[in-house]
């Protein structure tokens, strides 16, 4: 989970990413940040995030992202 927090802190340094649950809904993560986040997650965790998984619910919080990464890692 620390890796995810580190990645997010680089992308949105002015947000407390460890407690925020509305990263996408409140526009802290815009489309460019999401593209960068996906690339970083794919590299860091050796996964592929398919287009169908790129929805706000998967990226609103560190916990949401962790669940997504864990699920894709198991596939």
Q: Does the pLDDT value for residue 1 go beyond 80?
A: no
- The pLDDT tens digits for 18-65 are 999 999 999 999 999 999 999 999 999 999 999 999 999 999 999 999
Query: CATH code at 24?
Result: 1.10.1200.10
Six token digits for residue 12: 């949105």
- Domain extent, residue 32, equals 2-74
Residues 6+ apart with CB under 8 A from 26: 20
pTM: 0.93
Confirm if 23 and 12 have CB atoms less than 8 A apart: yes
Q: Does the pLDDT value for residue 75 go beyond 90?
A: no
Cα 58 to its chain centre, rounded Å, is: 7
Q: Does the pLDDT value for residue 2 go beyond 90?
A: no
- The pLDDT tens digits for 11-26 are 999 999 999 999 999 9
As a whole number of angstroms, the distance between CA 8 and CA 24 comes to 12
Domains held by the chain: number: 1
């Amino acid at each position: 989970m620390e890796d995810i927090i580190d990645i997010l802190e680089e992308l949105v340094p002015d947000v407390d990413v460890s407690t925020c649950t509305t990263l996408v809904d409140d526009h802290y993560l815009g489309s460019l940040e999401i593209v960068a986040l996906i690339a970083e997650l794919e590299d860091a965790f050796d996964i592929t995030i398919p287009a169908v998984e790129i929805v706000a619910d998967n990226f609103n919080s560190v916990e949401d992202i962790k669940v997504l990464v864990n699920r894709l890692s198991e596939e």
